[in-house]
Chain A
Amino acid sequence: MKKLITLTYDFFVIGLFTIGGGYAMIPLMRQTFVETRKYLTEEEFLEMLAISQITPGPIAINMATFIGYREGGLIGSALATLGVVLPSFIVILVISIFFANLTAIPQVKKFLLGILTGVVGEIIYITFDIFKKAKKTIFYLLVLTLSLVELFILKINPIYVILIGGALGIIFGKFFEGENASS
């Protein structure tokens, strides 16, 4: 019982301090679960992180489900996930309920638009970073080009664009695996 409360609390704190993308909370999770609580070894933590990065959904949710299940079974994973979700849920609800018309104030509108320009800078940075680190095989560049055509010219639902990319990977991936083994 005590462990379940600790688990929920830990993830609540992590959720609360994760502002600006899941990567911000990786050091905090490492600190909490490897060093303070000693639930996981360094190696186990990195293994979980690797799986969380290639499975669907925010890393924070994946890690909460993972660690919660290990420490407290099904209930543990549900509570840990609830813990990490609650802070953002509450904060956004409070904003929605009490500040529904924030944009009616010109200064606030400009403030939020200013943030948006920062977000664009951030996404451009992330995009370059991912592209730079990727193994740029012919397959990679072709799927990237095809996806851009699908999104910008054909205007296909992005969900299908992802699934088409995955399907092409399954069909043609075996010819490019050797070149992509490391990442």
Chain B
Amino acid sequence: MLLLRLFVEFFKIGIVTFGGGQAMLPLLQHSFVTELGWITQERFLYFVSVAEVTPGPVALNMATFIGYELDGVIGSAFATLGVVMPSFLVILAIAHFEKKFKENILYKRFMLGVKPVIVALLINAIYLIVGRGFVGFIPYLMALGSLIVFIFYRKSPLLILLVAGVIGVFVLR
């Protein structure tokens, strides 16, 4: 019942993915690398770098990647369906009932508590990539360099990442 597991794991992650794809990297890492051991750390980081420079939200790309790795085309379909389904259902409910959703006091308070967690998850995502993917001091210098570029020129993240890749071919070991 691998397909069902894939669907459920991605569904669970889809429900709690607030604030962009990068914040959910620690969730994927925890589920698929640490807890289930379905994906190696090296593979995971490979997926992250490809997912960031291919079309579509990072969350979706990761689902397709991991799903294919585990069970081919059908696996990637189930994983993608799992990660998409929560947002699809939630938005459908909101669009259908047209409730004053944003004014809901409980949900507002819930999000008040989730917002700081997103920052913690992003810090965790940085640590996961740096701690397991960086060897020697050159990657740190490159990360610092790209941070500076992002601060002054953030118009095209894709271009910055691709340039970092090209530089990497020449300077990384």
Partners in one complex: yes
Whether the Cβ atoms of A111 and B169 lie closer than 8 Å is yes
B27 touching A60 by the CB < 8 A rule?
A: no
- Give min CB distance, A77 to chain B, whole Å: 6
Q: Which residues of A contact B169 (CB under 8 A)?
A: 107, 110-111, 114
A85 contacts the other chain (CB 8 A): yes
**Nearest chain B residue, comparing its CB with the CB of A180:** B112
Chain A residues with a Cβ closer than 8 Å to the other chain, count? 94
Q: Does A8 contact B (CB under 8 A)?
A: no
Q: B4 on the interface (CB 8 Å rule)?
A: no
Q: Are B149 and A121 in contact, with the CB atoms below 8 A?
A: yes
Is B46 a contact partner of A103 (Cβ separation < 8 A)? yes
Please indicate the chain A residues that have their CB under 8 angstroms from the CB of B144 in the complex.
121
The residues of A that contact B30 with a CB separation of less than 8 Å are 157-159
Question: CA separation between A118 and B165, bound complex, in Å?
Answer: 8
User: Are B113's CB and A168's CB within 8 A?
Assistant: yes
Q: How far is the CB of B37 from chain A (nearest CB, A)?
A: 15
Would you call B164 and A169 a contact (CB within 8 A)? no
Query: In the complex, are the beta carbons of B113 and A158 less than 8 A apart?
Result: no
Contact partner of B130 (CB less than 8 A), chosen from A57, A120, A131, A173, is A120
Asked whether A85 lies within 8 Å of B55 as measured between CB atoms, the reply is no
Q: Indicate if A162 sits at the interface (CB-CB under 8 A).
A: yes
Residue interface mask A161-179, B partner, CB < 8 A = 1: 1111111111011101100
Which A residues are CB-close (under 8 A) to B48? 116, 119
CB-nearest residue of chain B to A114? B168
Let me know if A151 is at the binding interface, CB within 8 A: yes
Between B73, B134, B142, B166, the greatest number of chain A beta carbons within 10 A of the residue's beta carbon is seen for: B142
Contact A116 B45 (CB under 8 A): yes
A143 proximity list for chain B (CB < 8 A)? 113, 116-117
Mind listing 10 A-B residue pairs with CB under 8 Å? A19-B55, A57-B59, A69-B96, A88-B55, A113-B139, A120-B129, A151-B124, A159-B27, A159-B30, A169-B111
User: What is the interface of chain A, defined by CB distance below 8 A to chain B?
Assistant: 15-24, 50-62, 65-66, 69-70, 74, 77, 81, 84-85, 87-89, 91-93, 95-97, 102-103, 107, 110-127, 130-131, 134, 139-141, 143-144, 147-148, 150-152, 157-159, 161-170, 172-174, 176-177, 180
Given contacts A81-B84, A125-B150, A126-B22, list 14 more A-B pairs with CB under 8 A. Answer: A61-B88, A65-B88, A66-B94, A91-B55, A114-B169, A118-B160, A119-B129, A120-B139, A120-B143, A126-B122, A131-B119, A144-B120, A151-B121, A167-B113
Which are the 4 A-B pairs with shortest beta-carbon distances?
A114-B168, A88-B56, A169-B113, A57-B87
